[in-house]
Every structure is written in C-alpha cells, then in structure tokens.
Amino acid sequence: MIVNDLNAIEILDRITDGIFSLNRDWNFTHVNKEASRLLFRNREDLLGKNVWIEFPEAVELAFFEMYNKAMKDQAPVAFDAYFLPLHTWFDVKAYPSESGLTVLFKDITEKKQEALKSEQHYKSLFEQHPDAVYSFDCEGNYLSVNKGFEKLVGYKHKEILNSTYERLVDEKYLTITNDHFKKAANGVTQNYDTVVIHKEGHKVPINVTNIPIVVDGKIVGVYGIAKDITLQKHSEEVLVRSEKLSVVGQLSASIAHEIRNPLTSLKGFMQLLKSSLVEVPSYYDIMTDEISRIESITSELLMHAKPQAHSFKEEDVLEITDQVVVLLTSEALMSNVEIITNYDSIPPINCISNQIKQVLINVIKNAIEAMPKGGQLQIAVKKMSEEEICIRIADQGCGIPQEFLEEIGMPFYTTKEKGTGLGMMTTYKIVETHGGKINISSEENKGTTVEVYLPVNYQGNDSIVA
Ligand code: ADP
Ligand code: MG
C-alpha cells in the first residue's frame, strides 16, 4: 500500500467498496471513506488501533479465521459473512502482503435477503404442493418429504427420513421401481406407475416422476413427485369391465338362442331313450347332468342378454331381502349354514324389485357355496344416510385370494366345478344400472363380505336394463 500519499487517499476514497489496510500486528493503517461509513466508525478513531480490539465480535466469525489464513498462506481469500453487531452481510476479499493485509468489502445484505426470499419461494412450492414431493440421496434414502407425501403414505417425515423407499414399495413393483430410480440417479428423468403400501396396509397406485438433482454439474440425488392414481385406475377398470360386458351381451344373445333349441330336443330324446332302455347305463346320469349344466349356463346368459322391460318403482328392500332369504333357506340348511338377518329401518328404494332380488340371490348363493362345511351368513341392511342404503352379506367361507378380487364379475370367471362365472357379472351390471356400487372385501379361509350400496332415489332408465 501507498503510505502518506494524499493523492492515493483521495483515490481510495473515490472507490465505492470499503477498503482498509492492516499491518502485521492487525492495526489499521488505512481506512477509506466507504469503509468508515459501512463500519459506522470515524477513520481517525480506527487508524493505529487493533482490528480485533475494535471489533471483538469478529473474532468468533469467519473474518478472524479467513484473515489469518490469508496471512499464513500469503494468498488472497474471498468470502461472504454476516456481521451481527451491524446486521449486515459483507462480501469480503482480503489481499495479504509481507507488510500486512488489505481488505475490500461491500454491503450485500439486500442481495442476500433477495436470495433468501427466492429460497423461501422454492421452499413453499415444495412444502405446499398438494402432490407428494420429496428428495433422495443417490442410494434412494429420503432426505426430505413434504406434507403431501405424509398424506399419501400415512407416515410422518420422522419415520421416513434417511430410510430407503424400498420398504414402501409393493414387492411386485420393486424391480421396476428400482430400474427407474437407477436411471434417474444416472441423470435421466423418469415417469412411471408403481404401487406403494400405505402405513395402514392398503395399496396405493401412484404415478411417479423422478428427476436427477444436479449441483455443480454432478448428480447428488433424485427428486420425486408422486400422484395418487387410485381414482384414475378405478375408472379405467370400470371402462374395461363395461366394454367386456357389452361384448358378452351381444355374443350371448345369439349363442344362447342357438344352443337352447337343440338342447331342448336333446333333453327330450334322452328321456325317451331312458324309458326305452331296460338297463340304464351309468353314464346316463352324467349326460343328463351335463345337459342341465349347459341349460343353466344358457339361461343365465339369456337373462343377461335379453333386453327386458322393467320399471323403477318405490320398493321395500327389506321385504325383497326376506323373500330371498326364504327362497334360499333350504339350500342353506343343506350346507349347515345359519342365516342371521339384521335390518335398520330404511325408506322405500326406487328400484326394479326383480333385479334387486336377482342380485341378492347371486350374492347369497355364492356365500352359501363358499361354506360347504357350514357357518354363519350375516345379512344386514343398513341406512348409510338419507340418500343411501347398504346391503351387507358376510360369510365365513373360503374367502377370495387378494389377486383374484379384481377378477370377480369378469364374464366366465369361476373357481367352481359347476360354476358359470356369470352370477357376479350380472350382479355388477344390475347394481350399475341402479346407480349403486359394490364393494368386496375378503380374507382367505376367514370369509368374504359383499356390500351393495344403493341410492334411495335413483332416477333409473326404465326401458332396457340388464
Ligand atoms: P359362479 O358362482 O358361477 O362361480 P360368480 O360370478 O357368482 O360365478 O362368482 C365368480 C367367482 O367368484 C366364484 O367362482 C368364486 O370363486 C368367487 N366368489 C364369489 N363370491 C364368493 C364368496 N362369497 N366367497 C368366495 N368366493 C366367492
Ligand atoms: Mg355364483
């Protein structure tokens, strides 16, 4: 530094950065105008004084460490630091020499606050986003998760942070999820569907976007955004189901008709044959049994396919249920099944009584058939609200394996030797035309509960149903 040169001091004063110089004993040798302004100290009060005595708070801060480092290494240093006594952020550059240290600094508080603000903007985008937003390290351990994530999986962030996503993913989807995660961790953004297990045990289908986190050109982790797609999946399934149903409807109309007539004559000739034989062969019964089976399939198909004119009327669903119970009691007794009913008082339901009867027959028959060794069959009719009732049929039968639950109601899906696989399809169709819905829950070897929800006042289309 130039010493005692009036011109030099003038030049330094014109510089808009604060500048001061210290000698090897850390005493001030120069202080320009801006430095005196920024530090709120007169130049004369500082000159010749020790910087660490004048600004004792700086000893604990980056200033002390960085100035010492610069002097020790004889190499310039640059840093940002907050100086609490003045509530100011400084951008500091210190240039060492044999004789001491020259420091250039400026006030960057405003800029820092701006940056902090935009950081807060991003933070609220992360925290307030309704979708699940989260980040991982490159190994797939959660680093941060937002409220949307907690809601999606039911875990609090404390239960999740620093553990891997693998424990949340449904086993069946683990390989594919791992593949996508690895690609994202290698820098390629991924979008895919997978399934996670909620803390309460149920599965949640989600759509995930994984984006690599790049800092200074290096991938340091992966961001995730996940959306619950349960509803979307459900409507896709309904669509597939109703498409299949209409195809079956058309096909069954023609096939059932074609089969019915030859079947009737076959049956007739079989009876004729029996009466003309002295000794009836043992396979005769098998043949008649098989013909009856074909008959029952065709009649169920026909019922499904034939457009039937029915009308919606206000009906007493408790009475309908009782009629069905009477109808099926003898069948239940044969399998040692005890039927227990439990009815709320409910308003009249706008429905087609024959069809509701058909639904109950189909569901209750299945329940009885699921308990060949007997058990209890609970039939409850519940009032859910002023607008909705629920008929719940719960058995203690064989149950339905989780992976086959989705198949129930698909045409011809049956696990029974003499089944048709058409009962539940018809049931779904009827409930749908009544504006209702069906919920099946089941546990293997424990039992199955089928819930049929019906709106009280559905304005159904009278013309063609089933
Ligand atoms: P089907 O009774 O002719 O087999 P359904 O459409 O009525 O045809 O039922 C389809 C299949 O759904 C049955 O074969 C059975 O595997 C399963 N199922 C339906 N209800 C029950 C139940 N209550 N318990 C166990 N399995 C059931
Ligand atoms: Mg059935």
Predicted confidence band of residue 308 (pLDDT cuts 50, 70, 90): low
Contact 381, 391 (CB under 8 A): yes
| Separation of CA 408 and ligand 1 centre (Å) | 7
> Tens digit of pLDDT for each residue in 223-273?
999 999 988 887 777 767 666 666 666 677 677 777 877 888 888 888 888
**442 SS3 class:** strand
Question: DSSP readout, 166-189?
Answer: GGTB-GGGHHHHHHHHHHHHTT--
For a ligand 1 pocket test, name from 366, 426, 430, 451 the mutation site with the most ligand atoms within 8 angstroms of its C-beta: 366
Predicted confidence band of residue 14 (pLDDT cuts 50, 70, 90): confident
Contact 436, 455 (CB under 8 A): yes
Q: Which of 306, 270, 263 is nearest to 288 (CA)?
A: 270
CA-367 nearest atom, ligand 1: 23
Contact 181, 213 (CB under 8 A): no
> Whose Cα sits closest to atom 19 in ligand 1?
366
User: Is pLDDT larger for residue 217 or for residue 341?
Assistant: 341
In this predicted structure, the answer to whether residue 79 has a pLDDT above a threshold of 90 is yes
In this predicted structure, the answer to whether residue 298 has a pLDDT above a threshold of 70 is yes
For a ligand 1 pocket test, name from 296, 414, 431 the mutation site with the most ligand atoms within 8 angstroms of its C-beta: 414
| Separation of CA 367 and ligand 2 centre (Å) | 9
What pLDDT, on a 0 to 100 scale, did the predictor assign at position 464? 44
CA-418 nearest atom, ligand 1: 3
What pLDDT, on a 0 to 100 scale, did the predictor assign at position 328? 86
Provide the mean pLDDT of the chain: 88
What pLDDT, on a 0 to 100 scale, did the predictor assign at position 307? 52
Say yes or no: CB of residue 362 within 6 Å of ligand 1. yes
| Separation of CA 41 and ligand 1 centre (Å) | 90
Segment among 124-128, 180-184, 231-235, 340-344 with least mean pLDDT: 231-235
Say yes or no: CB of residue 370 within 6 Å of ligand 1. yes
What pLDDT, on a 0 to 100 scale, did the predictor assign at position 295? 80
Whose atoms come closest to the Cα of 411: which ligand? 1
In this predicted structure, the answer to whether residue 351 has a pLDDT above a threshold of 80 is yes
| Separation between Cα atoms, residue 332 and residue 357, nearest integer Å | 17
What pLDDT, on a 0 to 100 scale, did the predictor assign at position 66? 95
- The sign of the CA dihedral 311, 314, 316, 321 is positive
| Separation of CA 391 and ligand 2 centre (Å) | 17
> Tens digit of pLDDT for each residue in 84-130?
888 999 999 999 998 999 999 999 999 988 888 888 888 888 888 88
CA-408 nearest atom, ligand 1: 12
Predicted confidence band of residue 156 (pLDDT cuts 50, 70, 90): very high
In this predicted structure, the answer to whether residue 309 has a pLDDT above a threshold of 80 is no
The pTM of the full predicted model, rounded to 2 decimals, is: 0.47
In this predicted structure, the answer to whether residue 209 has a pLDDT above a threshold of 70 is yes
What pLDDT, on a 0 to 100 scale, did the predictor assign at position 115? 85
CA-415 nearest atom, ligand 1: 14
What pLDDT, on a 0 to 100 scale, did the predictor assign at position 16? 87
Say yes or no: CB of residue 426 within 6 Å of ligand 1. no
CA-413 nearest atom, ligand 1: 10
Strands 375-383 and 337-343: parallel
What pLDDT, on a 0 to 100 scale, did the predictor assign at position 204? 93
| Separation of CA 245 and ligand 1 centre (Å) | 17
Whose atoms come closest to the Cα of 370: which ligand? 1
In this predicted structure, the answer to whether residue 6 has a pLDDT above a threshold of 70 is no
**How many whole angstroms from its chain centre is CA 26?**
63
> What is the arithmetic mean of pLDDT over 9-32?
90
What pLDDT, on a 0 to 100 scale, did the predictor assign at position 126? 87
Say yes or no: CB of residue 367 within 6 Å of ligand 1. yes
Whose atoms come closest to the Cα of 408: which ligand? 1
Predicted confidence band of residue 466 (pLDDT cuts 50, 70, 90): very low
Say yes or no: CB of residue 154 within 6 Å of ligand 1. no
Token pair of 41 as six digits: 């100290």
| Separation of CA 119 and ligand 2 centre (Å) | 61
In this predicted structure, the answer to whether residue 282 has a pLDDT above a threshold of 70 is yes
Segment among 107-121, 167-181, 253-267, 332-346 with least mean pLDDT: 253-267
What pLDDT, on a 0 to 100 scale, did the predictor assign at position 137? 94
Say yes or no: CB of residue 400 within 6 Å of ligand 1. yes
**Burial class of 40 by CB neighbour count within 10 A (0 to 12, 13 to 18, 19+):** exposed
Q: Which of 458, 459, 442 is nearest to 450 (CA)?
A: 442
What pLDDT, on a 0 to 100 scale, did the predictor assign at position 246? 66
